[in-house]
Amino acid sequence: MPATTRYNKAIQLLEEGKPVFGTGLIWNGNLDEMTYFADSDYDLVMIEMEHEGLSFNNLRTSLQFLLNRKRVIDGGGLQADPTPIVRIPPNTREQNQWVIKQALDTGVYGLILPHLDTVEGAMSAVRAARYPQVPEYYDAADIWPIDPDGNLLLMGIVEEPTGANNLPDILREVKGIGAIWAGPGDMSVAMGHRGNAGHPEVQEMLLRILGICQNAGVPCAVGCTAAEVPMRLEQGFSILITAPTRTAGGLEEGRRISGR
């Protein structure tokens, strides 16, 4: 595969030093949502299986509805736009390699690995994602950046202080982790702040994770609102995960006028 060819748009943008805008997490099997996001301008769509339920059949169907065939034709190549990746159910420490293998068999372009907190768990995930396949598969779908021409993105979520403490070792010893997601939700619980993701100590932890990633040259992701986008870009986050706003203007106006 020529080095200039990129099937994974997110990886292409990261290599070009451009921010990646992703959305999620979209329920696996929600075909209406998949159709909507197929026509959106998001670079990356994250499909949720961690809390939705493990169904590879639903995942295969979801990928078909997320595929924007017109955009592929207009692009003159085979780049997936938006790029589909999936959050798998097992915590990384569980080392359930079969889930990784079967998720990749569906054709996703990357995996989100929950609770990345040890070198051993990270190594297990990378080994599972490089399981033997036909030569054509290796040419197109090896892990980036171990393979500079690879198109599979493994993004680990650091969502506990243990993971943050071990992150320098993880990124130094396991080169197949292509990005890190600094996750505030579970981190706030683990830090004793009961889901208060905005707590100053939690926010400080996110910036600590970002700094570790920057020192290792690894992209760092964070969830944010539209109002927070300028701040997160200025801080240096490479992947911004936002959610489209769902509004009900007519309902709100009617309730306001009627006093309900």
Tell me the domains of the chain and their CATH numbers.
Answer: 9-258 (3.20.20.60)
The predicted structure's pLDDT at residue 173: 97
* Cβ neighbour number for residue 72 with a 10 Å cutoff: 14
Token digits for 225? Answer: 């609102």
Amino acid identity of residue 73, one-letter, is: I
Structure-derived torsion over alpha carbons of residues 161, 165, 169, 170, reported in degrees to the nearest 10? 10
Structure tokens at 35: 């159709």
What is the CB neighbour count within 10 angstroms for residue 2? 6
- 3-state secondary structure at position 235: helix
Predicted local distance difference test score (pLDDT) of residue 1: 38
pTM of the model as a whole:
0.92
Q: What are the angstrom distances between the C-alpha of 127 and each of 67, 105, 158, 222?
A: 28, 15, 19, 26
Per-residue pLDDT at 5: 61
DSSP state of 142: P
DSSP annotation of 244 reads: P
**Confidence at residue 4, expressed as pLDDT on a 0 to 100 scale:** 55
Return the DSSP state at 79: -
d(CA 222, CA 14): 15
- What six digits make up the tokens of 213? 């990633």
Nearest to 66 by CA among 108, 104, 103: 108
Which of the residues in the chain have pLDDT under 70? 1-5
